[in-house]
A = this chain, B = another copy of it.
Amino acid sequence: MSNVFVLGHKNPDTDSICSAISYAYLKNQLGMDAEPIRLGDVNNETAFALQKFGFDQPRLVERVSEEVSQVILVDHNERQQSAVDIADVQVIEVVDHHRIANFETTDPLYFRAEPVGCTTTILLKLFKENAVEVPANIAGLMLSAIISDSLLFKSPTCTEQDVQAARELAEMAGVDAAEYGLAMLKAGADLSNKTLEDLMSLDSKEFEAGGHRFEVAQVNAIDVAEVTSRQKEIEVLMNEKIARKGLDLFVFVVTDILNNDSTAIVLGSRSGIIEGAFKSSVVDNRVLLPGVVSRKKQIIPVITEALS
């Protein structure tokens, strides 16, 4: 039984899973007894990366406080994105690259957030600062996270630091970033074995702003029309989720990973803000967002501003 869990956010993406594994490895090298865990199912893209570099999925743990009293958060800090019982354990460290909100501690802690495109770009610094070598397979996972979060360096969240880190990690891992990356993204955008319920929850995050609760789900696709052709069924599921969770707004974003645009379906009592916020026409609850691929940089701040 480990003393400390290292965990990414709910509905884990490739960064959350790979950062948890990589940072737990680093902490173990530094003498901590840390175990990476996950809060939900691993998606196709992440499964592809784990298999490529020879890792099993981290263990699924729903209530962390039943096993440990201390946790390390990677790739998130907002409590509603974390374990359901996060208030019952001590957060001893955070390594993240998102906005900071809904986070509070009683004691000082190690909190390292940087405005870069991916958590593992920060983790590479931490390996270096602690003079711990990155094994080839861990480097492969860290590279996968950067490719995932940056959509192969094309997202506006991607910084020069991410590109440089990916270059170093690709060399350590012995893979061609562009070739491997496209294969990984395509594995993630293969929606053929997914139900609509899956699409709704695979990579969905809740936020609060101006007293309103909103959620933004995002899926990557190669054929966006394949998804949007089922809009009516999707809306039924969205409305169910809105009612169940008491959301004021639910945005379902389908991102075209080849053309770098997104199409969003918007529902909820506050959905009227979308048209003004994004300066785009909402027709039949649907809006095209040209050039928008980043939830964090191009969607959340815009909605937060509009709701506040």
On A, residues with C-beta under 8 Å from B are 97-115, 129, 296-297, 300-301, 304-305
Q: What's the Cα separation between A22 and B166 when bound, in Å?
A: 32
Is there an interface contact between A301 and B106, defined as CB atoms closer than 8 Å? yes
Chain B CB within 10 Å, residue with most, of A108, A300, A305 = A108
Out of B98, B104, B107, B108, which one reaches A108, CB within 8 Å? B98
Task: Enumerate chain B residues within 8 angstroms of A110, measured Cβ to Cβ.
Answer: 113-115
Q: What's the Cα separation between A114 and B94 when bound, in Å?
A: 10
Q: How many copies, total?
A: 2
Chain B: which residue is nearest A117 at the CB level?
B108
Is there an interface contact between B99 and A100, defined as CB atoms closer than 8 Å? no
Chain B: which residue is nearest A78 at the CB level?
B104
CB of A103, distance to nearest CB on chain B (Å): 6
16 A–B contacts from the bound complex (CB under 8 Å): A100-B100, A100-B103, A100-B104, A100-B109, A101-B105, A102-B104, A103-B103, A106-B304, A106-B305, A107-B297, A108-B113, A108-B115, A109-B115, A110-B113, A111-B112, A112-B112
Chain B: which residue is nearest A114 at the CB level?
B110
Is there an interface contact between B99 and A107, defined as CB atoms closer than 8 Å? yes
Q: What's the Cα separation between A99 and B108 when bound, in Å?
A: 4
CB of A124, distance to nearest CB on chain B (Å): 13
Chain B: which residue is nearest A93 at the CB level?
B115
CB of A127, distance to nearest CB on chain B (Å): 14
Chain B: which residue is nearest A208 at the CB level?
B104
CB of A196, distance to nearest CB on chain B (Å): 31
Task: Enumerate chain B residues within 8 angstroms of A297, measured Cβ to Cβ.
Answer: 107-108
Is there an interface contact between B102 and A97, defined as CB atoms closer than 8 Å? no
Chain B: which residue is nearest A304 at the CB level?
B106
Q: What's the Cα separation between A174 and B111 when bound, in Å?
A: 32
Chain B: which residue is nearest A101 at the CB level?
B104
Is there an interface contact between B99 and A105, defined as CB atoms closer than 8 Å? yes
Is there an interface contact between B100 and A105, defined as CB atoms closer than 8 Å? yes
Task: Enumerate chain B residues within 8 angstroms of A99, measured Cβ to Cβ.
Answer: 104-109
Task: Enumerate chain B residues within 8 angstroms of A104, measured Cβ to Cβ.
Answer: 99-102
Chain B: which residue is nearest A301 at the CB level?
B106
Chain B CB within 10 Å, residue with most, of A104, A296, A297 = A104
Out of B102, B111, B296, which one reaches A111, CB within 8 Å? B111
Chain B CB within 10 Å, residue with most, of A106, A112, A297, A304 = A106
